[in-house]
Amino acid sequence: MTQGGPQNTEPILILDFGSQYAQLIARRVREAGAFSLLVAPETPLETLKSLSPKGVILSGGPSSVHEDGAPRCDERLFELGVPVLGICYGMQLGCQLLGATVEPAPSREYGRAKLDIDSSEGLLGGIPSMTSVWMSHGDQVSGLSENFTALAHTDTCPFAAVMHDELPFYGVQFHPEVTHTPHGVDILRNFLFGICGCSGSWKMSEFMEAECARVKAQVGDGRVICGLSGGVDSSVVAALLARAIGDQLTYIFVDNGLLRKNERELVERTFRGHFDIDLRVIDASADFLKDLEGVTDPQEKRRLIGHRFIEVFRQAAAEVEGGVRFLAQGTLYPDVIESGQSLAGTAANIKLHHNVGGLPEELGFELVEPLRDLFKDEVRALGEVLGLPASIVWRHPFPGPGLAVRVLGDITQDKLDLLCDCDEILLEEIVANELYRSTNQVFAVLLPVRSVGVMGDGRTYDSVVAIRAVETQDFMTADWARIPYDVLASISNRIINEVNGVNRVVYDISSKPPATIEWE
C-alpha cells in the first residue's frame, strides 16, 4: 500500500503523539465513513500535503508540551489549509502554537467529568448543553489569545473545548474517541462532515474497486505470486487479486510443517473447489523444521520462518513461465503498527511479523500489499463484498509462523503433533458449543514445562497445555473470552484423556494489553 492509502480517498491524518487511544481514533473515523491514516507527528508539511488530507487530528499523548524532547508537529501545519482537531495533548500543542498559554492543571484530572457547553454550534452542534466526557490530563490551556473562542468548560477546566476564529483549528481537552464520552462520536462526526466536508464514502465496495485499480496500476502486465495459507487475510488477498489481475497470478501454498491438523488437505479442497486458479502446493516442511532445530527465541523463529518463506517463493517463482516480479502478502494495519513500521513511527516494535519484519533486504520481488491499511474486521467486510464463503471470511486467524510460536521453546515433530491434536479437540468443542463466532481467536499453546500428575494408580510427569480464547474488534486490543466452565471442563477432560503426554490444561485470562494475543 502506498503511503497515501487507497486511491480516490481524502484521508483524515492522525498525528500520533504516543496516545494509547491513537488507533481508536483511527477506527472511530473509519466507522464514521471517512478514511484515516496514522502519521508520525514530526512529518514535514510537504509530506502531509502530498497525502491530500481532508483534515488533521492531533492525538493525545503522555508528554507535557513543556518537556524537553516532547513530540512536536511541523509548525507550518496550519498552512495546509484544512481543519485541525486537537485532542488533549494535541489541543495543548495546537493552542500553544497559536499563542495560548498552557500550564499544569491545579490537579490532574482523570476520569469522567461534567462538560458545560458554551457554544452549541459547529464542533459541538447537537450536543446536550450538559454532558459527560472522559478526561486524562495533567496540563491544560489556562489562557487564550484574542483569536480564540471558548466552546465548553468543566468545573476545573475553563477551556475544555475551543476554536480559533481565523484558522480552522479546534481543540478538546477530553477524549471524544472513548466510549466513556457518550457523545464523543457525534463530536467527531461534526468535525468530519460538518467542518472537514468528508463525503462519508469510505465503504468496502468503493475500497475494493479503488484497490483493484491501484493493484492493476502497480502490477501492469507483470506476474504475481501470492502466498496462500487458507486464513482470512491471504484468502481475501487472493480473491481481490483474482478480480484485479486474473490470470497474471500464481498462488503458492507452502506446507511448512507448522500447520494445524489436516490444514494442507483443507486448503487444497477449499480453493481448488471455489476458485479457478493456478494453485501450486509445495512441501517444504523438512527445510523449515531443520531451520528451527534448537531455536527457542520467538523473534528468531519468526525471522527464520520469514527467510525460508521467501526462499521457497523464489524457487517457486523461478518455475513460473514468464518470470515473476511481484509477491502479494496479506499484511494488515495492526501488523504494520506492531512491527513499528507505520507512518506514525511511534509504535514500539512489539514483535516481528513475517509479513512485515525479518525478511531479507533483497527480496527479489516487489511487494503487493492490498490490505495494508485495513483492520481485521475491515478485511472480513471486504471478503464478504468479494463474495467469499462465510466459512472462510469468519475463520479465526492463524499466525504466519504457525505452530512455531505456539510451541514455546524448541520445536520438534513430536511437540507439533501433540499440539495439533490438542488444538483440534479445542476447536471441535468451541464449534460444538456454538462459541466460534462469539470468539475471535481460540488456540492451544504447548508450554515448555512439565508437571506432576496422577493417571490411574501411577505418577505422570507430562506436558502442560494452555488454552487461549479472546474477544476483540480489531486485534489491537483484546479481552479474554469468558468460556463457560462446563465447556472448559470438557475441553480439559478430552485433551488430557485423548492426547498422550498431557496431564494439565490451564486457561489464559490475560487481556491485550498488557499481554499480546499470541504467546510468542
From 177, 211, 378, 429, active-site residue: 177
226 is catalytic: no
Ramachandran angles phi, psi of 366, nearest 5°: -90, 140
Nearest to 240 by CA among 1, 495, 488: 1
137 is catalytic: no
CA 502 to chain centre: 34
Q: In sequence order, which residues have a C-beta less than 8 Å from that of residue 43 and are 6 or more positions away?
A: 15, 73, 74, 343
- Rounded to 10 degrees, the C-alpha dihedral 339/341/345/351 comes to 10
Using alpha carbons only, how large is the chain's radius of gyration in Å?
25
175 is catalytic: yes
- Specify whether the CB–CB gap between 207 and 236 falls below 8 A: no
Q: Helices (H), strands (E): how many in the chain?
A: 14, 18
Cell 482537531 -> residue: 85
3-state secondary structure of 83: coil
Helix axes 376-385, 204-219, angle to 10 degrees: 90
In total, the chain counts a number of residues equal to 520
From 153, 175, 353, 354, active-site residue: 175
CA 115 vs CA 60, 191, 240: distances in Å: 19, 18, 46
Ramachandran angles phi, psi of 274, nearest 5°: -95, -25
Nearest to 280 by CA among 236, 244, 245, 324: 324
From 88, 157, 196, 422, active-site residue: 88
* Residue-wise DSSP of 356-375: TSS--S--SSEEE-TTTT--
3-state secondary structure of 190: helix
- Specify whether the CB–CB gap between 228 and 238 falls below 8 A: yes
- What are 3's three cell numbers? 503511503
Please tell me the distance from the alpha carbon of residue 97 to that of residue 74, in angstroms, as a whole number: 10
Nearest to 309 by CA among 296, 332, 292: 292
Pairing of strands 224-227, 326-328: parallel
Range list of H helices, 275-355: 285-292, 298-318, 333-338
Please tell me the distance from the alpha carbon of residue 487 to that of residue 435, in angstroms, as a whole number: 10
Please tell me the distance from the alpha carbon of residue 106 to that of residue 192, in angstroms, as a whole number: 33
- Specify whether the CB–CB gap between 166 and 9 falls below 8 A: no
Helix axes 232-245, 204-219, angle to 10 degrees: 60
Cell 493456478 -> residue: 278
- What are 475's three cell numbers? 486485534
Q: Which residues are catalytic?
A: 88, 175, 177
